[in-house]
Amino acid sequence: MRRPLSLLAAALVVACSPQPGTGAAAATGAADAQTAESRHPVSGLEIIPLAVISDGERHEFAVEVARTAQEQARGLMFRTELGPNEGMIFPRNPPDVASFWMKNTPLPLDIIFVGEDGRIMNIAANTVPYSLESVSAVGLTSAVLEIPGGRAAELGIEPGDAVEW
């Protein structure tokens, strides 16, 4: 009689235990996966959604966030691939008159300077790969957005458009 009760108790424990892929274990796994998915595989930087609103149309991007001075100095240097809806955002805190160059950057980029009001001030379009020539903002910059060269013109993105991130 003891053996059937032991088997019944074991069956109840197994039946009441969280199953793989469910419950708290799955939620933790999903959170870990989401965290892993929100980091760029090359840079290790956090990836966040960003939108440019142009003539009422939202253009969505997944951008890496270069927060530290070291991350901002490296930027997209040495990168040979950048998807059409990918980019990098450089928050400027405190805001400054930002100036960028293309040293060690093999891809042409559109460098978009975002003002303190969250609107695009100016765009350095299709910057020349590897160029040491500086491109600068026309005023105080709260962020700089880099996207693939020519993409801003392709989407109709221009000064005055809003940037949300």
* pLDDT string in tens for the chain (165-residue length): 555 444 444 443 333 333 444 444 444 444 444 445 699 999 999 999 999 999 999 999 999 999 999 999 999 999 999 999 999 999 999 999 999 999 999 999 999 999 999 999 999 999 999 999 999 999 999 999 999 999 999 999 999 999 999
Is the bond leading into 94 cis (omega within 30 degrees of zero)? yes
Instruction: Write down the pLDDT at residue 5.
Output: 45
3-state secondary structure of 138: coil
pLDDT the model gives residue 37: 62
pLDDT on residue 128: 99
Domains and CATH numbers, the chain: 1-37 (no CATH), 43-164 (2.60.120.1140)
For residue 22, what pLDDT is reported?
A: 41
Q: What pTM was computed for the model?
A: 0.78
pLDDT at 16: 39
How many other C-beta atoms lie within 10 A of the C-beta of residue 74? Answer: 16
> How many helices and strands, by DSSP H and E, does the chain display?
4, 9
Could you tell me which of 86, 75, 155 has the C-alpha nearest to residue 120?
Answer: 155
